[in-house]
Structure 1
Amino acid sequence: MSALDNDEAVKAAQAIELVEIDDGYTLRNTPDEDVVHQHDIQQIPEQDITQQMLNQSAQNPEAWLMYGGGYEQQRFTTADAITTDNVSDLELEYLIETGVSNSMEGTPIVVPGDPPIMYQTNGPNHGKAINARNGDVLWSYTYSNPQEVHGNQGANTKLLLCCDSNNRGFAVYGDKVYMTTLDSGMVALDRFSGEPQWYTSTADYRKGYSATWAPIVWNDQVLTGSAGGEYGVRGFVAALDPENGDILWRTYTTDPERWVETSYEQGCATTWMTPTLDQESGTMYCPMGNPGPDFNGAVRPGPNPYSCGTLALDATNGDLQWNFQESAHDVWDYDSSSPKVLIRDQELHGESRNIVVSAGKTGWVYTNDAENGKLLRRSEETVQHINMWEMIPHIDEERRISYVPGAQGGNDWQPPSYSQETGLVYMKQQNTPHELMWLHEEYTPGETYWGGALNDWPHVSNPEGWNGHTSAVVAVDPVSGERVWREWIDDQNYLWGGSLSTAGGLTFLGTQKGKFVAYDSETGDRLWESPNLGAPISSSPSSWYDPGTGKQYVAVQVGGSGWLRHGRRGSTVAVFALEGQQSQQQGQQGQQ
C-alpha cells in the first residue's frame, strides 16, 4: 500500500472537480477547510531560508529556491555534473506519485540540506514537501478553495476560472512557503509541518479575479499580481508582509489618466505570471496581459497602457518606472505573460547595458534597456507571421481571418531560459492559427468579458502560406536578434511549459509527446531523451546538485494542461539524476 493511500490531503484534492460552465470553469467538492497530512516531517532540516540565500540562489548549484532559479528568471543552473559528453547516461532516479491527476504546470523548488527538500505544487492548490534525495513525501496540503454557492437573491458566489485550475509553484522564505490560490489569495504554510499560518485575499474572486503563478519574496515582501483578464477585472501588482499577510502596497495597472473615460475600470492588463527582479536597483519587471475586453477595442480607445508588454516598478513601493508595449491597443489576445529575463552587462550599440528580454505572443523576442525600457532589438521571427495586425471581423460577418501567431502565441506563459555559457535564450513556441471575432458586450461583474469569440486550431481555415508546423523549440541571441536554431515539433497538442539551461551546456524541456529532452544548447542537437512518461509535459524543470549523493538532479512535472486543456492529465514528478563531479564550489557559500 502506498503512503498516499491514506493521505487525507490527497483524498481531498482527488475529490475536487473542475467543471465547465458558461463563464469558463469552476470547482466543486472542495473541502470545507484546509487539509494537511503529515508523513515523516522529521526529515526536514530545521533551517530558515535567509534573504542572502535567496540572493545567491542562481549561483548556488545545490539550490533552486524560486520559480526561475533566481530573481533574474534566467532558469539557469550552475550545476555542471551533467554535460554534453555524459548526458546520454542520464537515468530516471525516481518517480513521485502526487496522487492528484490535475494540471501539472509548476516548477519544483529545492532547499539545500541533508537531505535537500523539494516543495512542489499542482492544481487545484495542492502542495507537498518531498525528500529530494529519494522522493519520500513528507507532508501534503490541500487548500479549501470556495465552490459554487447560491447566495441571497441569486448573487454570484462561484469561483471563476478562465482556463484551468493551475498552480505553478511555491515561494520560500524563513520558515514558510507561500502559494497563490485560485480565489485570488495567498496562503503561507509552515514549511516544516505544512500547517497554514495565514491567508490573505488580494481581490474578489466573485468578480473573476484569480491567481495561479509562483510568487517571489524580496526585502521582506511577498510580491504578487493579478489574473482574470477575461472577466473585466482591473489588474494590479501587490506586496504582502511575509509574516502576517498584510498588504503593504498595491499598484493598479490601468492608469485612469491614460485610459479614456472609465474604460480603465474593466481594462484588465493583469500580471498573471511571476515577476523578475533586479536586486541592485530594486526594480521589478512584470509580464503584462491583454486589455479588456479581449477582442472589442472600440470600448477602450487608445494604446491601453500597460497591457501586452513589460511594466517596470519600484519593488519597494510599487511606483512606476517605465513600460513597453509589444501590441498596443491589442485585439488579438497577444499577452506578454512569460517571465522577463534580466541579463547584466551586455554590449549593445557600443555601450554596456543591463537588458530585459521578453518573449511574448507576437512571435518576436524584444530586448529592452533595463533602466529606461528603450527598445534595443527586436529579433528575427521565431514563428510565422500571417495576417498579423489585420483587424478582426465582427462575429456576425461571414468572413473569417486566420492569424499566425494565434491567440496562444508565439510564446504564451511558458518561461524561457538563458544560458550564461552560450548567451542564447531558449523558448517553446506555437505556430498554429486562430480565428477571432468581435462583438459588443456589456460588462457584468462575474461574467466573461471577451468582447467576442475565437475558433481554436485545428477548427479553423488554415491561412495561405502556413507551413503546417504546430510548435517549435527556438534559440535566439537577444543581443544580435539572430534566430540561431529552431526545431519544429508537430502534434495535436500545444508545446507547453518552460525550459532549463545548465552550465554543462545543456537545455532541458518536455514535449507534448511525453518526452523529456536534453539539447546541446549551442547547436540544438538532441543529445538525450527520456522514455515516454505517459502524458504531455506542460511544466518547467528545475535542477540541483546534491553533495550527499554526488549527483546532479533534474526534475519535471508530468501532465497535460495547456491552452483550453489540451492533453491528458498527469499526477507525477519525474526526477532524473547522474553521478558526477561538480566543478563549482558555490554551494556552501549559498547556504551562509
Structure 2
Amino acid sequence: MTYPASFALALIALLSLNNATYGAPVSQQRLLDADSDADNWLSHGRTYHEQRFSPLKQINDSNADQLGLAWYFETDTHLGLETTPLVIDGVMYFTGAWSNAYAIDAKTGALLWHFDPEVPREKSITACCGVVNRGMAAWEDKLYLGTVDGRLIALDQHTGKPLWSSQTTDPAQAYSITGAPRAAKGLVFIGNGGSEFGTRGYVSAYDADTGEMRWRWYTIPGNPEEGFENEAMARAAKTWNGQWWQFGGGGTVWDAIVYDPELDQLYIGVGNGAPHNRRIRSPGGGDNLYLSSVVALNPDTGDYLWHYQEVPADNWDYTASQQITLADIQWQGEPRKVIVHAPKAGFVYLIDRLDGQLLSAEPFTTVTWASHYDMKTGRPVEVDGQDYDGKPAMVYPSAIGGHNWQPMAYSPLTKYLYIPELDMGMPFEEIKAPDYKHLKRHFNTGYELTQDAASQRFTQALLKYLPKSHLLAWDVEQAKVAWKVPHPNIHNGGIVATAGNLVFQGTSDGRFLAVRADNGEVLWTFHAQNSILPGPVSYAVDGEQYIAVAVGRGGALTMNTGKSYPTTNPNNRIMAFKLNATATLPPVSQPKRPVPPPKTGMSEADIEEGRRLFDRFCARCHGAAVVGDGSIPDLRYLEPVWHENFEAIVLKGLMEKAGMPRFDEVLDEKQVKKVHAYVIERAHEDHALRQERGWWAELKNTVTDLGARLLAWLIRITTS
C-alpha cells in the first residue's frame, strides 16, 4: 500500500498524529547510549561514532531471502533523495528535495506531518549537485534542518512546526546547505557548500534551544588586510600565496561533522580548494591549509585542536568531506582510538583521534595522482605529470572521487569498512591563469570542462565501458581489501551493516541488495524501479526489524554523466522491508518521446560552439551530451512549447520560480540560440537512434513470430 504526501490524506495524517505515541526526548545521555538502543536510529550515523552499524539481527544471513516490501511512501518530487532517515520511537523523520522535511509512521508509512521551508527556487543555481538534502539532527524534542538557501531551522518533533530559524550564510553569496546537521552538548553544528561558486568555508555552532550562534570556525584564511580570526588562521595564511580570497578559496564543510564523546572533540572534514587548479588559486605554491583536511575542534568554543591534511595543495577536487567514522581497533598489536576515513582521494586513512597522527594510508581503488604516503612526514608522494601542469593528464580517481558522499559502514564484528567504491579516472587540462575567468554563481574549476566533439564521444564511451564500481569490504586492522562485489553501473548507494552478518546497499540501476558481511555473497535482490543512492537504516517496531532506504535518482554524477534510463522516473520514495512482507510497487510506464522540432540550419561551427557552452553551463544538471537522468527534464525530449520559449527561459528567467535559473549574466541571445541548436541536434540524433532501434526490435519480433509459427506448423505436420 502506498501513502502519498497529498492533501487527500490530511485527515488520516491528523488521526495518525493524534494517536502516535512519542517516547523520551533525544537527550545527550540517550545519544551516548544509542549503541544499546537497537530499535532506533537517533542520529545521522546511528551513534556518535557514525559507524552505521545496527545491532539488530532478526534479519540475518540465514533468512535474508525472505525479505519483502513492507510499505512505501511517495514524495511529490523527482529531484533526488539523499536522506538518511532518523527513526525515533516508531516515527521516521527524513528530508527531500528543496529541504522539505517529513514525519511518517515507521511501521506503516502513513504521513504524520510535512514541513516546507519554502526555499526560493532561484537558489537552485548555487546548489552544486541538485537541491537535495541528506537529513536532520535530533535534540530533546526538536529536529534540525539545513536548507538550500542557508538557513538552520528547528522544528517541533511532534508537529513539524518551526520553532526558530537562523540564517547561517550570507544570502548575497553562493552558499548552500545540503548536509545533515549534528547535535551534541546542547549545540547544533552545521557547515555549508559552495566552494566552486566562490565561497570561503566554515563550520558554525548554534544554541539548540534558541538558535543563537555560539561560535564559527573558518577553514581557510581570508584577506590578511582584514586581520585573522584566530592563530590557526594566521598560521594557515603562511601556506597560501597570491590573492586567494578573491576567488573564495573553498574549504567548505558540506558533509562530515562528527562529535567524539570519549575525547570531547569535534571532527570536521574540510572540502576542496576553489578554484580546483592550485596554480590559479595560490600561485607560488603552498599547502593551502586547511583544505582537504580532517580538523579537530573544541566543541564548546570552536578552538582549533589539531589537523591532518590528507591532500596538501589539493589540485583535483579531493575533498575530505566524506563520512568520518570513529572506531576502537587493534593496530600493530596495540589498542587505538582511530578515525577511519575513505574520501575522494582514494586512500583509506587511519588517523589517531587523540592527536591527528597518521597511522596508515593505503589505496582502496585505482590511484595515479600519488604513489604512496611517506609515513615519516605523513605526506603523499605525488606522481610526476599528474598535476596537469602545462600538459593534460588522465588522473585516478576523478574529481567525483573514489568514494563520494554515499555513506559507508563499519562493522565492529567483522572489523570491515564497507565502501561504495568508484574506480574511475578523468582527463584534466588546465586553464592558464591569463585565460581564466572567475564567474560568480557558476562553476570555477580552473581546468577544462569542455572537450572537442571526438573527445566527448570517446569520454562517453569511457564512462559506459571502462569505469568500475564495487561494494568493497576493507579489512581495517590489516589495511587491505577483504572482498569486492562488482556493479554494472557507476555511482551506487550508501551502506548499512547489521549484526545479522549482513550489509545492505542500493545501486544506480535500481537494485537493493542484501550481502553477507563476511564474504560478499549476494543473498537477496529487490528491484526498486529507480536509483538508490543514500544509506539505508535499520530499526524495529513492535518486535519486527525493518530495513528502510530512500529511493530516487539525482545528484552530481547521475545528473552529469549522461545516464539514460529506459523508463520514466517515478516519484522519489521511502521503501521499508521486513521478513515475509508482500507489498508491491505500482507498474512503471514507458516514456513517450515527442518528435523533435526542425533543425535550425545553423553551421557546424555554431552548433559546436553551442556544445561548448552547454558543457560549461548546462551539463552539470542536464547531463553530458544532453543525456539527462530524468530527475530534471531531459532536453532531448522537450515538448514544442518549451522550444518556443527556450530563450525566454534561459535569458529572462521564465521558469526561475520553478527552479530553472537564468543565465543572462553569462550568455547573450546569439549564444543561447547556438545552445538551442545543439540541443535540437542531439534530439534528432536520439530520435534517429530510437527509430533504428525500433526497426530492429520490430524485425526481431517479426522473426520470432515467424519462427514460432513455423515451429507450430512443423509440430502439427509431424504429429498429424
Cα displacement (A) at 1:41: 1.8
- Equivalent of 1:436 in 419, 424, 428: 428
CA distance in 2, matches of 1:3, 1:339: 31
The answer to whether the 8 A contact 1:282-1:316 is kept is no
Q: Which residue of the partner structure matches residue 578 of structure 1? A: 579
Cα displacement (A) at 1:134: 0.8
Q: Which residue of the partner structure matches residue 109 of structure 1? A: 86
SS in 2 for 1:206: coil
Cα displacement (A) at 1:368: 0.7
RMSD: 2.7
Task: Give deviations 1:501-542, integer Å, cap 9, x for gaps.
Answer: 001111111011211111111101111111x11111111110
CA distance in 2, matches of 1:7, 1:564: 35
Task: Give deviations 1:65-103, integer Å, cap 9, x for gaps.
Answer: 111111111000111111111111111111111222221
Distance of aligned partners of 1:284 and 1:497 in 2 relative to their CA distance in 1, 3 Å threshold: farther
Quick check: 1:414 aligned with 2:390? no
Structure 2 residues without counterparts, runs of 5 or longer: 222-232, 371-382, 564-568, 582-720
Cα displacement (A) at 1:3: 5.9
Q: Which residue of the partner structure matches residue 515 of structure 1? A: 511
Range that drifts further, 567-576 or 315-324: 567-576
The answer to whether the 8 A contact 1:297-1:329 is kept is no
Range that drifts further, 248-257 or 498-507: 248-257
Cα displacement (A) at 1:461: 5.0
Amino acid at match of 2:74: E
The answer to whether the 8 A contact 1:434-1:460 is kept is no
Between Structure 1 and Structure 2, the one with more helix by share is: 2
Q: Flag the structure with larger Rg.
A: 2
Amino acid at match of 2:505: L
CA distance in 2, matches of 1:462, 1:368: 37
Distance of aligned partners of 1:458 and 1:311 in 2 relative to their CA distance in 1, 3 Å threshold: farther
Cα displacement (A) at 1:427: 0.6
Between Structure 1 and Structure 2, the one with more strand by share is: 1
The answer to whether the 8 A contact 1:296-1:450 is kept is no
Cα displacement (A) at 1:488: 2.0
Task: Give deviations 1:240-265, integer Å, cap 9, x for gaps.
Answer: 11112111100000144223354256
The answer to whether the 8 A contact 2:508-2:553 is kept is yes
Distance of aligned partners of 1:378 and 1:121 in 2 relative to their CA distance in 1, 3 Å threshold: same
Q: Which residue of the partner structure matches residue 547 of structure 2? A: 554
Q: Which residue of the partner structure matches residue 480 of structure 2? A: 482
Quick check: 1:140 aligned with 2:114? yes
CA distance in 2, matches of 1:147, 1:471: 34
CA distance in 2, matches of 1:462, 1:443: 27
CA distance in 2, matches of 1:423, 1:496: 22
Q: Which residue of the partner structure matches residue 282 of structure 1? A: 264
Cα displacement (A) at 1:221: 0.2
- Equivalent of 1:168 in 126, 134, 147: 134
The answer to whether the 8 A contact 1:38-1:194 is kept is no
Provide the TM-score with structure 1 as the length reference: 0.84
- Equivalent of 2:529 in 514, 526, 534: 534
Task: Give deviations 1:220-279, integer Å, cap 9, x for gaps.
Answer: 000111211212211111111111211110000014422335425622111110312211
Distance of aligned partners of 1:570 and 1:325 in 2 relative to their CA distance in 1, 3 Å threshold: farther
Q: Which residue of the partner structure matches residue 337 of structure 1? A: 321
CA distance in 1, matches of 2:65, 2:121: 47
Amino acid at match of 1:382: F
Amino acid at match of 1:374: Q
The answer to whether the 8 A contact 2:73-2:575 is kept is yes
Q: Which residue of the partner structure matches residue 705 of structure 2? A: none
The answer to whether the 8 A contact 1:63-1:110 is kept is yes
Distance of aligned partners of 1:246 and 1:458 in 2 relative to their CA distance in 1, 3 Å threshold: farther
Amino acid at match of 2:488: D
SS in 1 for 2:503: strand
The answer to whether the 8 A contact 1:362-1:409 is kept is yes
Cα displacement (A) at 1:406: 0.7
Task: Give deviations 1:359-382, integer Å, cap 9, x for gaps.
Answer: 111222111111111111123x32
CA distance in 1, matches of 2:30, 2:557: 38
The answer to whether the 8 A contact 1:118-1:130 is kept is yes
Q: Which residue of the partner structure matches residue 501 of structure 1? A: 497
Task: Give deviations 1:389-414, integer Å, cap 9, x for gaps.
Answer: 534547xx7x6432221111101112
Cα displacement (A) at 1:459: 5.3
The answer to whether the 8 A contact 1:105-1:539 is kept is yes
Task: Give deviations 1:191-224, integer Å, cap 9, x for gaps.
Answer: 1111111111111243111111111110000011
CA distance in 2, matches of 1:3, 1:445: 39
The answer to whether the 8 A contact 1:227-1:272 is kept is yes
Quick check: 1:423 aligned with 2:420? no
The answer to whether the 8 A contact 1:183-1:209 is kept is yes
CA distance in 1, matches of 2:6, 2:332: 60
SS in 1 for 2:189: strand
Task: Give deviations 1:463-502, integer Å, cap 9, x for gaps.
Answer: 99x99242111111222211111122122xx323310000
* Equivalence map 1:28-177=2 (5 Å): 40-47=16-23, 48-112=25-89, 116-148=90-122, 160-177=126-143
Kindly tell me the number of residue pairs found equivalent between the two proteins: 531
CA distance in 2, matches of 1:310, 1:54: 23
- Equivalent of 1:241 in 207, 217, 227: 207
- Equivalent of 1:210 in 176, 188, 210: 176
Q: Which residue of the partner structure matches residue 25 of structure 1? A: none
CA distance in 1, matches of 2:548, 2:258: 22
The answer to whether the 8 A contact 2:3-2:72 is kept is no
* Equivalence map 1:256-405=2 (5 Å): 256-257=233-234, 258-259=236-237, 260=240, 262-264=243-245, 266-300=248-282, 301-344=285-328, 346-379=329-362, 381-386=363-368, 389=383, 390-393=385-388, 400-405=392-397
The answer to whether the 8 A contact 1:287-1:311 is kept is yes
Structure 1 residues without counterparts, runs of 5 or longer: 10-36, 149-156, 581-592
The answer to whether the 8 A contact 1:213-1:273 is kept is yes
Cα displacement (A) at 1:187: 1.0
